[in-house]
Amino acid sequence: MKNLIEDIDVITPVSGEACETMKVTTENSSGKSRKLYIESYGCQMNFSDSEIVASILQKEGFDTTSDLAQADLVFLNTCSIREKAEQTVRNRLQQIQSFKKKKPEMLVGVLGCMAERLKTKFLEEEKIVDLVAGPDAYRDLPKLVAQVDEGDKAVNTFLSREETYADITPVRLDSNGVTAFISIMRGCDNMCSFCVVPYTRGRERSRDPHSIVAEAKDLFSRGYREVTLLGQNVDSYKWSEEENNKARLEKQGIHQVVNFANLLEMVALVNPDLRVRFSTSHPKDITDEVLEVMARYENICKYIHLPVQSGSSRILELMNRGYTRAWYLEKINRIRQILGPQCAISSDMITGFCTETEDEHKETLSLMDEVQYDYAYMFQYSERPGTPAAKKFADDIPNEIKTRRLEEIINKQREHSLLRNQQDVGTIQRVLIEGNSRRSDAHWQGRTSANRVAVFAKSENTNKGQYVNVLIESCTGGTLIARIVE
């Protein structure tokens, strides 16, 4: 569910800190009486949720601000997937305390996965926190804010079996006006032993496909040219009239039962100039039908994030991933067969999981050699309280061994990222211009279908949101260096 490569020589195409990523609310002033400031941590789902929160509160008299000191209401939308992510938020709360001392009427709230996991502990231990709301409680925020305005603390971490926020039009925060997220489902039914998501975001439920297509059409009409369909496991998307208790939608061209392949095609048909991406896929659920739809439509980007987590079948079983090393590699082969070798594949990997041996670590390295990922998100195992792994297994790999193994994985990925980018040198690629290069206003930055970032000099009659053909002349491990061609 992520975009890592950003610009030439700015960051590398690998990361061990993806879940500490943070985005701040952008300025949106329409003269409303109160100002909302949101910091979003973690995955793209959190960033998408912050846009829903901003939309709900906009109707309650809040503009957004990028200046924390000007805020009347401050939200941290949090991630619980790693211990370091949680500690980052705790540290940030202490920093915010200095602003609250200068402005006592400022309200501070914690949203998202940490809110769901820690619940009232925030209100009891972190005296600065006035409000706590879990991922399914955002419709309740106006009432919770009113409760705090009256002098009380407020908390709602109820997990819903139905909430999808399908009827809420997100306020696009930190938007380049070209690319946008569309949330298609919430929650997760995969009980991976290391993961807190099923406990912090609840069970899977899929959003009405008509509302998804309508949102894509609206975005295209407003100048957006790329959408990313978001879900914890998009391949398990399934919507039906009977199960979802909805009115019949055949007249709108929607099947009685809609799976992810159907939905992907429906969004692709909105307009051939609307690029479609998706994240994240689970290896055990992605189907040939999905791959065949991707092959059929040029505007469905040829890029798949397919987290493997480990190259060892024994470790994968302990993780409850639902596949073996051999099965995963066969899935990679199917992707290459149907979409071709140029389809980009990225991954997540956890090193130092409980009882992992040195030979099993080497199995992960050898799997990386077989696949040659375009980029990856790599982490040391971080035990999360309440997960099956924390209950069943000892976190028995010393930190210094975890650190050394992670470094070896990162170094391996650097090699593969450079090799994959070098394969594009000398080719012509169609790129969607997303905006200025981070290093120079004289250069554009955009991405290829395979999610590789290209940087190239501006020319006359080129604008943000436009497709251009570029010749790839050279590359780094993170960026393609190109020039516009006819």
Q: Tell me, what's the pLDDT at 28?
A: 64
How far is it, in rounded angstroms, from Cα 148 to Cα 106?
11
Please, which pLDDT band fits residue 87 given cuts at 50, 70 and 90?
confident
Please, which pLDDT band fits residue 73 given cuts at 50, 70 and 90?
very high
Q: Mind listing the pLDDT tens digit for each residue in 151-201?
A: 998 999 989 989 999 999 998 887 899 999 999 999 999 999 999 999 889
**Mean predicted confidence (pLDDT) in 458-485:** 96
Cα radius of gyration (the chain):
22
How far is it, in rounded angstroms, from Cα 63 to Cα 268?
33
The domain spanning residue 336 has which CATH number?
3.80.30.20
Last residue in a domain, options 422, 452, 468: 422
For residues 194 and 80, membership in a common domain is answered with no
**Mean predicted confidence (pLDDT) in 443-463:** 96
Any domain includes 217: yes
Per the model's pLDDT, the better-predicted residue between 304 and 486 turns out to be 304
Is pLDDT above 80 for 278? yes
Q: Tell me, what's the pLDDT at 248?
A: 46
Question: What is the domain extent for residue 398?
Answer: 179-422
Is pLDDT above 50 for 12? no
What lies within 8 Å, CB to CB, of 377 at 6+ separation is 2, 4, 14, 15, 16, 18, 346, 347, 348, 349
The domain spanning residue 477 has which CATH number?
2.40.50.140
How far is it, in rounded angstroms, from Cα 84 to Cα 439?
30
What lies within 8 Å, CB to CB, of 460 at 6+ separation is none
Quote the DSSP letter at residue 300: B
Any domain includes 164: no
For residues 334 and 460, membership in a common domain is answered with no
Any domain includes 365: yes
For residues 201 and 78, membership in a common domain is answered with no
Q: Do 41 and 75 form a contact (C-beta atoms < 8 A)? A: no
For residues 361 and 448, membership in a common domain is answered with no
H/E stretch holding 303 reads strand 303-305
How far is it, in rounded angstroms, from Cα 30 to Cα 27?
10
The domain spanning residue 69 has which CATH number?
3.40.50.12160
For residues 68 and 201, membership in a common domain is answered with no
Per the model's pLDDT, the better-predicted residue between 481 and 18 turns out to be 481
Q: Domains in the chain: how many in total?
A: 3
For residues 278 and 363, membership in a common domain is answered with yes
Q: Tell me, what's the pLDDT at 269?
A: 98
Q: Tell me, what's the pLDDT at 240?
A: 85
Any domain includes 471: yes
For residues 218 and 327, membership in a common domain is answered with yes
User: CA distances (Å), 118 to each of 15, 39, 40, 93, 421, in order?
Assistant: 27, 18, 17, 15, 42
Is pLDDT above 80 for 250? no
Q: Do 77 and 111 form a contact (C-beta atoms < 8 A)? A: yes
For residues 453 and 379, membership in a common domain is answered with no
For residues 71 and 92, membership in a common domain is answered with yes
For residues 145 and 204, membership in a common domain is answered with no
Q: Tell me, what's the pLDDT at 178?
A: 96
For residues 416 and 435, membership in a common domain is answered with no
For residues 35 and 137, membership in a common domain is answered with yes
Any domain includes 150: yes
Any domain includes 170: no
Q: Which residue has the tokens 């939200």?
A: 75
